[in-house]
């Protein structure tokens, strides 16, 4: 995975069979459906794993540091304060890829506890090396499906922020159902946010941007905080519990050079 384009690889199906949603709503909030297949590489899932070997240096760093800062998805509720060794507002980044943006944002927001969710081990290994080299103390990593994490490890109303940067747009119409940001998933994210918590999404794909805008507008627990979502960012930027700025990664620079517009969506959970 390369930079934040690799967010996309955390939300690509592993096979051509369209995935069934793992979360539904019935007016009482999200509820879990039984899982099928492997926990780390489920057959029906919202992501596709990409295998790859770690370099010798990556493996050494992984062996030293992963046991301290990394875990695989599990059924046990997450005690973030204990894991980080401190109480602090908790932010999740779905599809952190190689962690270019993850590391920079964690360093810029040392008062936040940040969890990156990713499947691709070589991408995680690059981030583990960065965390070890720069001694970044406020990042933890979960390896697995983000929906699985949200359903089974994160308590309702416990997140200060959720970031989803450049998820795969699945441009073909027959694949649109594979997109991560469907109504059920956005409802699940909203349920896990605390009142006043922030959902921040970015995409460079125009059609997916329209889809995201429509899904977010229909979620009753969310209200727009920036112009793209019907709000005024200047009114919320200073008071929001997480920053609205993102580091520009190599992928985003490439998108700019290609003339692709970057659409930012920032919602807050109603208080």
- Sequence-ordered list of residues with C-beta below 8 angstroms from that of 235, at least 6 positions apart, any chain: none
Q: 219 in helix, strand or coil?
A: coil
Alpha-carbon gap, residue 170 to 37, rounded angstroms:
23
C-alpha to C-alpha distances, 151 to 23, 142, 147, 157, nearest whole angstrom: 8, 14, 6, 12
Q: Would you name the residues annotated as active-site residues?
A: 168
How many CB atoms sit inside 10 A of residue 168's CB? 24
Give me 92's structure tokens: 């999740």
Burial class (CB in 10 A: 0-12, 13-18, 19+), 53: exposed
């Amino acid at each position: 995975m390369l930079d934040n384009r690799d967010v996309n690889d955390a939300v690509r199906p592993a096979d051509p069979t369209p995935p069934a949603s793992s979360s539904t709503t019935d007016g009482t909030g999200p509820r879990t459906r039984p899982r099928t297949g492997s926990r780390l590489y489920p057959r029906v899932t919202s992501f596709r794993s990409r295998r790859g070997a770690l370099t010798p240096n990556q493996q050494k760093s992984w062996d030293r540091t992963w046991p301290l800062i990394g875990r695989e998805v599990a059924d046990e509720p997450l005690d973030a304060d204990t894991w980080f060794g401190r109480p602090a507002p908790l932010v999740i980044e779905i599809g952190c890829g190689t962690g270019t943006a993850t590391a920079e944002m964690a360093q810029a927001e040392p008062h936040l506890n940040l969890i990156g969710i990713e499947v691709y081990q070589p991408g995680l290994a690059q981030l583990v090396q960065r965390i070890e080299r720069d001694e970044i103390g406020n990042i933890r990593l979960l390896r697995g499906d983000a929906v699985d994490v949200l359903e089974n490890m994160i308590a309702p109303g416990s997140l200060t922020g959720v970031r989803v940067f450049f998820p795969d747009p699945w441009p073909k119409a027959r694949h649109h159902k594979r997109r991560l940001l469907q109504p059920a998933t956005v409802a699940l994210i909203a349920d896990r946010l605390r009142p006043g918590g922030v959902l921040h999404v970015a995409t460079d794909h125009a059609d997916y941007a329209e889809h995201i805008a429509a899904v977010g507008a229909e979620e009753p627990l969310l209200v727009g905080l920036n112009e793209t979502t019907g709000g005024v960012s200047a009114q919320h930027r200073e008071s929001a519990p997480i920053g609205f700025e993102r580091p520009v990664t190599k992928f985003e620079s490439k998108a700019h050079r290609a003339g692709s517009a970057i659409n930012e969506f920032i919602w807050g959970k109603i208080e």
